[in-house]
Structure 1
Amino acid sequence: MTRANPEQSFGANPKEVRDTNHYQEEYVKSFVEKWDDLIDWDQRWKSEGDFFIELLRSRGVKRVLDVACGTGFHSVRLLSAGFDVTSADGSPEMLYKAFNNARNRGHLLRTVQADWRWLNRTVHEQFDAVICLGNSFTHLFAEHDRRKALAEFYATLNHDGILVLDQRNYDSILDQGFSSKHKYYYCGEDVIAEPEHMDEGLARFRYTFPDNSIFHLNMFPLRRKYARRLMHEVGFQHVETYGDFKGTFDANDPDFLVHVAEKEYMEDDEED
């Protein structure tokens, strides 16, 4: 028998919880402690390969701000590859777990708790790259929050810096239904991650673990063209999108999309 975790509070109408500020109540300690079972670091390392490492190196990146570090997977990978990494997250539980994960792998993680909408109040440095991974950007429900966060990312980048932002392929889920291969991002074999409710304003996902415990996350189903348009409108000059780490893909095929937005002005940039 499955059981929802009592630490998470969504009130009487969970599908009505569409609030950016609610995410801290969703990432409760008991959920964070199980998060690495969902990711499976070793399997994700194999499936992802060196995509992000090669991407950053190809653009001469040295200093990286990981604004959604979660339990530290990408921060640790990039530290291991020689990048100078600062790790941020809005959840103190995630930061605590990330710091310990890094320490257990021989790294000292430089962490900071930060709300993206006011990122530059907390982070007073410039970076060659900002990475926002793990479908984290879809915790922002209001358009003004999304624009504000993107503008903050833009401001913390050096003049030729890049933003790397990923998301689930919500177009496919909304238009074709949910079907995940679990090959790239969520590699835990015994954990089920699937939508409990989908509409144009809410993606409510249910996570079921081997001990039959259940957790939920409420997210905004970000469509690809809309995300790219927002990046252009806040100032990014060129946006390239990959589907499951491939440059060429069928729109409905990939589980995840990775956007690479360049701050440097490119005269010949083409719009969608």
Structure 2
Amino acid sequence: MYNPTHTQQDYGNDPLAVRHTDHYQAEYIQSFVEKWDQLIDWDGRAQSEGDFFVRMLREHGARKVLDVATGTGFHSVRLLKEGFEVTSADGNPNMLAKAFANARSHGKLLRTVQADWRWLNQDVHDYYDAAICLGNSFTHLFDERDRRKALAEFYATLRHDGILIIDQRNYDALLDHQVAPSHNFYYCGDDVRATPEHVDDSLARFRYEFPGENVFHLNMFPLRKNYLRRLLHEVGFQKVTTYGDFKETYREDQPDFFIHVAEKRYRQEDENA
């Protein structure tokens, strides 16, 4: 349960037993949120992903975008600068406050909504050309019912020809090959380490180390790529194209991240896609 007075993360006596969705509120305490941009490094992140998301959105004719996991605002601000109309949602008030402040420092004003994905359309009352769920955020959902409900809510907020862009870590590599993620694409900050501390079939616990002996953790569900692709199809998306580190052609064990572009539009030729 979120408590704005918490100054330290609390996983109880057995951190590996904390495997439930709502705990993310207690993980993103203010001191962690304040350091999050050191981990991302906005300039490094922008350089690593290039124009991938802007190009994907434009190729699908999107103008109005819902950023359902805005975090500290990196993608929302970037899309605003590119001329998109953006609504920025997040379930954590600390993140939303930081995103709003970051946007102001870039000369932009965010339209923000605090919303739980599982009941997204209770708080977001509009339709969008695209929804984005980035930064490995979807792995905060530990229960399959929560994952299905959230994806259905994303689907419902899209126009008939809308798209969802959702990413995830390459957990298949971690689970099957014990391959440690690199620091090249998503987490570009210098002097910051993000390393898996424990991985099993239902928990990936990551350790985040910042200068000055500041250490934080996140407990996440290790989504397999094909499992998420299947869920996207089962909630109604007609076509799902998967990219590895912003490339459509990749070796399975190489990418740090997978990015799925899920199309809602029904096209008869997509029935067997």
> Cα deviation per residue 1:242-271 (whole Å; 9 max; x = unaligned)?
000000000110000000000001222265
Q: Which residue of 1 aligns with 2:3?
A: none
> Cα deviation per residue 1:29-77 (whole Å; 9 max; x = unaligned)?
0000000000000111111111000110011100000000000000000
Q: Which residue of 1 aligns with 2:195?
A: 194
Q: Which residue of 2 aligns with 1:81?
A: 82
What SS does the aligned partner of 2:268 have? coil
Q: Which residue of 1 aligns with 2:130?
A: 129
Distance in 2, matches of 1:6 and 1:107, equals: 29
Q: Which residue of 1 aligns with 2:255?
A: 254
Q: Retained in 2: the 8 A contact 1:178–1:195?
A: no
> How far does residue 179 in structure 1 lie from its aligned partner after superposition?
2.2
Distance in 2, matches of 1:157 and 1:269, equals: 19
How many residue pairs align between the two structures? 268
- 1:10-159 equivalences under 5 Å are 10-159=11-160
> How far does residue 182 in structure 1 lie from its aligned partner after superposition?
1.2
> How far does residue 123 in structure 1 lie from its aligned partner after superposition?
0.3
Instruction: State percent identity of aligned pairs.
Output: 67
> Cα deviation per residue 1:108-162 (whole Å; 9 max; x = unaligned)?
0000000000000000100000000000000000000000000000000000000
> Cα deviation per residue 1:178-221 (whole Å; 9 max; x = unaligned)?
32221110001210001110000000000000111110000000
What SS does the aligned partner of 1:82 have? coil
Q: Retained in 1: the 8 A contact 2:7–2:31?
A: no
Cα 1:103–1:198, aligned 2, differ >3 Å: closer, same or farther? same
Distance in 2, matches of 1:38 and 1:271, equals: 40
Q: Return 5+ residue gaps in structure 2 as ranges.
A: 1-5
Distance in 1, matches of 2:271 and 2:38, equals: 41
Q: Retained in 1: the 8 A contact 2:172–2:224?
A: yes
What SS does the aligned partner of 2:110 have? coil
Q: Retained in 2: the 8 A contact 1:78–1:85?
A: yes
Provide the TM-score with structure 1 as the length reference: 0.97
Q: Retained in 2: the 8 A contact 1:127–1:161?
A: yes
Q: Retained in 2: the 8 A contact 1:32–1:94?
A: yes
Distance in 2, matches of 1:88 and 1:144, equals: 21
The RMSD of aligned alpha carbons is 1.1
Q: Which runs of 4+ in 1 moved over 2 A?
A: 178-181, 268-272
